[in-house]
Chains A and B, each alone.
Chain A
Amino acid sequence: MRGLLKLLVAAAVVSAATGLWLTAPNRVAPERFANLTGDSIKGEHVFTASGCASCHHVPGAEDKLTLSGGMAFPSDFGTFYAPNISPDSEQGIGGWTLLELANAVTRGVSPEGQHYYPAFPYNAYNKMMDQDIADLHAYLQTLPASAVPSKPHDVGFPFNIRRSLGGWKFLFFNDQWVIDVPPELERGRYLAEAQAHCAECHTPRNILGGLDTGRWMAGAPNPSGKGSIPALTPNKLTWSAEDVAYYLESGFTPDYDSVGGHMAEVVENFSHLSAEDRTAVAAYIKALPAPGTK
């Protein structure tokens, strides 16, 4: 009997330790970023392609570069609010080193070692090149500072236990490409899978909020309530690659209806990228496999 008890205690200790180990924040190796110097001009492209402003600008504001945050993201787990990422050293991220930004953007770990909620698309940004992160870091410093404090997330138990996000990451964190593509489609894949994080809205999620990669970009319910996010997969999307590229440039569908909702922000970003980049994303979209065939 005593032996069994000992065994149970030992098992509990091991599983608790495993749990703590599994859920501990996993940071990047500092030497990866030690010798990188950011270029703020190139960083603007990274910033635009990655859509940072689309979520972090003040809701309803014409000024899309003062990134005080505040935009609400309703979900099954609660409502998340985009934080202040302006260069303010108190309320924003002005004091962050490149390494701290890299850990936030590619690992979802704050400078204090807390997990971020995956409403922040680090599970896409984790596929970004280190130099792009360095350039982004340089560019973010050039934006106007705002002393508006970040709004706390409105998330109930048990999802308010940040440590549990370590379990989420264990299950779903993936810094490998989702779709295999030939070399000529790699640029489009980089833009779509890593930077523009298209799948965050266009791919359905499982009950734990992880992306269902077997139905990659197959469309999903709109987390904000009404309507749905359209599928980009060949079983649904009837647009040509040219149509997709033109939509990303002008916001017009092939029927000359116009883009709306959050996608209007995405098109705004893409309209500032090069025609080559839009064509590359369109080619990647047209190469997506039908759901269930990957």
Chain B
Amino acid sequence: MKKTLATVAVLATLATGAVAELPQAVKARQGQFNLMALNLGILGGMAKGQIDYSAEAAQAAADNLVAVSSIHQAALWPEGTDNMSIDGTRAQPVIWENIDDVMAKWGAFGEAALAMQAAAGTGKDAIGPNMGKLGGSCKGCHDTYRAPQ
């Protein structure tokens, strides 16, 4: 009985170890992508007509995207946080071989966010084309640097 309990305890510890907390840098970068998705959802919902257009809300969402794009990325991408090294991330190791290219693509997101910021408050129809540019900047990085689910 004692042995069984001990075994259970050991297994439980191992199981906890297997779902170890993600490094803070990974949580932070995933958090910024969630912030992007949340605000893109507001703008996309308006473009699709699923949410009523509000110049104020659209502007706020676009401003948030610009704010996210202005976060310096260096601290969020430490070595050893790729998907071969740890679970819970889809960041491909090739990111660290091409970090300049990855950061250039992050910059492209920033440019697309600025274009949205300039347009979002001017009317519903201005959102759609800028969503396309933002989507293009996401794709530009995700085609090579993010692993499939």
Contact = CB atoms under 8 A, between A and B. Distances in A.
B139 interface: yes
B123 to A, nearest CB: 18
A227 B147 contact: yes
B144 interface: yes
Contact of B48 (A229, A242, A262): A242
A228 interface: yes
Contact of A251 (B38, B138, B148): B138
Contact of B44 (A60, A228, A256): A256
Contacts of B149: 227-228, 230
Given A222-B148, A242-B48, A260 B142 contact: yes
B79 interface: no
Interface stretch (A127-135, A154-162, A189-197, A264-272): A264-272
Q: Report, as a range, how many residues of chain B touch the other chain.
A: 20 to 34
A226 B89 CA distance: 13
Interface string A74-114: 00000000000000000000000000000000000000000
Contact of B143 (A226, A228, A242, A261): A261
Interface of B: 36-38, 40-41, 44, 48, 83, 90, 131-132, 135-136, 138-140, 142-144, 146-149
B148 A258 contact: no
A258 B147 contact: no
A99 B48 CA distance: 44
A221 to B, nearest CB: 10
A251 B138 CA distance: 8
B48 A265 contact: no
Contacts of A260: 90, 139, 142-143, 146-148
A241 interface: no
A262 B143 CA distance: 6
Given A228-B148, A250-B131, A256 B41 contact: yes
10 contacts: A226-B147, A250-B135, A256-B37, A256-B38, A259-B135, A260-B147, A260-B148, A261-B142, A261-B148, A264-B143
A258 B135 contact: yes
Contacts of A258: 135, 138-139, 142
A259 B148 contact: no
Contacts of B37: 255-257
Contact of A265 (B44, B90, B136, B143): B143
